């Protein structure tokens, strides 16, 4: 049940920031989890205008925000730095 990971333009920029930070190792571990089972807890399903979007915490300030497309076995990363600003 492997999912393909795709990066939005913002997530690509965010990933460059993460690679230079102490969060790099944790982010890579979360990406592996998302490839295997994007529903694995802990995850938070967002609400309101972000319904259908999920997040996993990197630390108290930063989260990986993503959508799951089961029909094409894809996880689309929307953001990886900060919270949900601008989504």
DSSP string, 48-86: GGGTTEEEEESSSS-EEEEEEEGGGTEEEEEE-SSSSTT
CATH number of 4-79: 3.30.2310.20
- Count CB-CB contacts under 10 A for residue 63: 21
Contacts for 9 with CB less than 8 Å, ≥ 6 apart: none
pTM for this model (two decimals)? 0.91
pLDDT tens across 56-87, in order? 999 999 999 999 999 999 999 999 987 666 66
Whether residue 1 has pLDDT greater than 90: no
**Looking at residue 55, what is its pLDDT?**
95
pLDDT tens across 9-48, in order? 999 999 999 999 999 999 999 999 999 999 999 999 999 9
């Amino acid at each position: 049940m492997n999912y393909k990971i795709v990066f939005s333009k913002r997530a690509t920029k965010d990933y460059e920031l993460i690679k230079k930070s102490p969060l790099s190792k944790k982010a890579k571990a979360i990406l592996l989890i998302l490839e295997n089972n994007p529903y694995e807890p802990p995850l938070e399903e967002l609400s309101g205008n972000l319904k259908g979007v999920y997040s996993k915490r990197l630390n108290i300030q930063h989260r990986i925000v993503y959508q799951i497309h089961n029909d094409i076995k894809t996880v689309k990363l929307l953001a990886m730095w900060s919270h949900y600003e601008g989504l």
